[in-house]
Structure 1
């Protein structure tokens, strides 16, 4: 029997009886004692009524979501709404409002947390004697327990995926991650099939007895020469057979065959494991993007702020890279190329501008899922300055949490880069790093601006010395370090 139940109702007092009935039924079904059941019904009713009246005064068009979950000796109550802002309270956030003092006396850990555009979360723990949550086995955990039997590595075949594999790829992600994987489009088999067929996604799968047991992909983004690698997953029952290494090698082989000059990944910074995995395969860090990972929830349903990610590249074409450097970031950019073991040459800006002819001088790309904007600058002039400022205002108007600006190191002269860096600095942009093989294969200086307070700046785990030095330089450039120096650490 499930430990959790959830209901959503309109912000209309006439509908609140639906919540009361659900709470009563849940408490009876889970065997709560009469006193505990009565307390739970009272607490939830009073909390939902307070939220209804406080967040949606005279508004019956809103929504209130209520969730109950069994815990050890208690029932955890969550009440969520997307109505008028209210001051946070509980714990270290401030005292509980007087009208909820009675509820506070009946519960533990009553608190309200603001989640920005994701609304508010009111939570409390209601004591319930003898309650023990049932231990349920998740699908992925069940799959891990399924033994591979006598399967050997040579029985697993690595093949290029076709549209016919799309549904199996989506199901494999679900087995491993539920619906929590960071590329939500991969849960849509029709989208996966279309992307494979169009050549925008190079998917490679591991097959065993007609079943997809592993997947790795390279994603092509329109206008970029580099390809993003990822969506790497192996069925839990078949790990330890070297499947991932074979998938990765085939992906790089396909990238080389398609003339892709480099591949890149985005390693999270909440732990070092993905960074180590990429580093072991030759990827090297070039940029630290603060706030690039959307916010979420921890395992105990506590809100997690936006996180940072490391941009890492594996160069395939080891050619010289023609570039100009702005004076402010000359040493940092030179260190990034050295970390990649790539040589640079003086840029031929006239040739680079000729390549860009017909393309917009300013390109804007807004990612609604990540709530971020990337502005790419390929030429410089009076009109470009105006378009750049318009792009920055658009990011603010769309309530983006972070914004990035990529300056073309091949098409802009050192003097133009200096001017662009100064203007962006006036709008709180600071160093992020190097973007390799971007639009038309040109490299770019990436600068970043944080437009939200909900960004993790302390718990950033970086595994390599270079990455740690990069973070120090970025924080110094933003003025977050005393006597900071923006040179390479």
Structure 2
């Protein structure tokens, strides 16, 4: 959940912001010591903004976003003050001792008291500072060690058939969902909040997700499947699918998927999409059984997830196939297709049965300045850049964002979404030739019910042969990406 404030450059805001930051850190799970460190870092940052960002104005404004997941917290500060280059303000200990020159000391403190500090020059959009801190979840670590020491005997796969029923999730199902996650993944599942019944209960109470649960006739929880509503578009992601190992291969997963598709139609979503892992093709097969179409392949998208009953050795981050199921009939829309990817995009649209009118504009309009949103997934070491508007500064803004992301510890992959309903996209794509992006796929309805071309930049070595893609068209996408990656590397 995000908490957002717009602050004035009045020194009187520093203490209230610090008080809020400290309390927020404690509520998010940081220790008092780590909460104090993070608060000091925030204090240094906003003090610098207040003192130096607007030297020729009596008053200015900046935005603060406090962002929390179960595994980390992040503060994002945005301002449109004077240009600034942190590399030109290095702290020099000798200068501080001999001449009392403490320039750069604030930035040094920020870096020391956070786990990740990112500065992004957004050109005409101003500047962005991101402070991140990882939350140590000792209880899960201790339980993990305990589970390894007292690991029960694996259930037999040939368990007898059981009579079951599928119903919609209620907040009262939260504890059983947490137990199902553990029975299926132990403590390897990337969404750590699913080990906390109270956290699960809150998501269903707040209508952040919809789901179904399978129970035997005597009430035992056998499976769970959810769809997560996307925050910026009327689509939902099919995810968090589990079936207790004792009851696999009894049609439970298929039954839950059928129910979820009905839930999606009842809520009038434009489409459902899934991100099916490629280390085991089971989820891909289920998706395609119900008419999902593979539209992309995201390389190195997530950390390895260990499934009980499967080979646990997988030597690289897991890639995922984007599978999409349109739920509504749409009228034809104008799509501006880059020549380089025209054929594979048209083929994808045809398989999805989404009518389009392809265009190749001779002229296009651009905004006064670029608008691009950055989402960082610290847990999986990936980042997504969503382009909303192109301006004359697009290439320089994008280069600066990439430089900021790869300056310290490079992420596994950086994804880039370009709007296909924007007439400037074909020309702007040609500006990215030397930035290392390759094809990822089509992301229909992904932002504001609009279609996007997703590209990807891979930052670490990996092995294509370990990526298992099930569908025929998915294999075609993989081959297309493999060829382009070979040309770039």
For normalisation by structure 2, the TM-score amounts to: 0.62
The one of 340, 343, 351 aligned to 2:355? 343
Q: Take 1:335 and 1:302, find their aligned partners in 2: how far apart are those partners?
A: 35
The one of 324, 328, 334 aligned to 2:340? 328
Matching residue of 2:464 = 457
Matching residue of 1:468 = 475
Give unmatched runs, 5+ long, in structure 1. Answer: 1-134, 483-489
How many Å apart are 1:451 and its aligned residue?
Answer: 1.1
Matching residue of 1:187 = 195
Q: Take 1:314 and 1:239, find their aligned partners in 2: how far apart are those partners?
A: 24
How many Å apart are 1:214 and its aligned residue?
Answer: 1.5
Give unmatched runs, 5+ long, in structure 2. Answer: 1-147
Matched, 1:363 2:373: yes
1:159-190 alpha-carbon deviations (Å, 9 max, x no partner): 22122211110101111221123433322222
Q: Take 2:360 and 2:271, find their aligned partners in 1: how far apart are those partners?
A: 21
Asked which structure has the greater RCO (Cα within 8 Å, sep 6+), the reply is 2
- Report the 3-state secondary structure (helix = DSSP H, G, I; strand = E; otherwise coil) of the residue aligned with 2:389: coil
- Report the 3-state secondary structure (helix = DSSP H, G, I; strand = E; otherwise coil) of the residue aligned with 1:452: coil
Matching residue of 1:204 = 212
Matching residue of 1:9 = none
1:45-71 alpha-carbon deviations (Å, 9 max, x no partner): xxxxxxxxxxxxxxxxxxxxxxxxxxx
Matching residue of 1:6 = none
Q: Take 2:153 and 2:189, find their aligned partners in 1: how far apart are those partners?
A: 13
Matches within 5 A, 1:204-353: 204-208=212-216, 209-295=218-304, 304-320=315-331, 322=333, 323-345=335-357
Matching residue of 1:87 = none
Cα distance change of structure 1 residues 144 and 269 upon mapping to structure 2, 3 Å threshold: closer
Cα distance change of structure 1 residues 458 and 236 upon mapping to structure 2, 3 Å threshold: closer
How many Å apart are 1:306 and its aligned residue?
Answer: 2.0
Q: How many residues align?
A: 333
How many Å apart are 1:348 and its aligned residue?
Answer: 13
Task: Decide whether the 8 Å contact of 2:336 with 2:360 is kept in 1.
Answer: no
Q: Take 2:269 and 2:211, find their aligned partners in 1: how far apart are those partners?
A: 15
- Report the 3-state secondary structure (helix = DSSP H, G, I; strand = E; otherwise coil) of the residue aligned with 2:429: helix
Task: Decide whether the 8 Å contact of 2:184 with 2:244 is kept in 1.
Answer: yes
Q: Take 2:204 and 2:359, find their aligned partners in 1: how far apart are those partners?
A: 36
Q: Take 1:167 and 1:360, find their aligned partners in 2: how far apart are those partners?
A: 46
Q: Take 1:207 and 1:272, find their aligned partners in 2: how far apart are those partners?
A: 25
Matching residue of 1:446 = 454
CA RMSD of aligned residues (A): 3.2
Cα distance change of structure 1 residues 459 and 223 upon mapping to structure 2, 3 Å threshold: same
Cα distance change of structure 1 residues 197 and 381 upon mapping to structure 2, 3 Å threshold: same
Which protein shows a greater Rg? 1
Task: Decide whether the 8 Å contact of 2:370 with 2:394 is kept in 1.
Answer: no
How many Å apart are 1:438 and its aligned residue?
Answer: 1.0
How many Å apart are 1:419 and its aligned residue?
Answer: 3.0
1:179-236 alpha-carbon deviations (Å, 9 max, x no partner): 1234333222222112112222112111233332211100123113321102222223
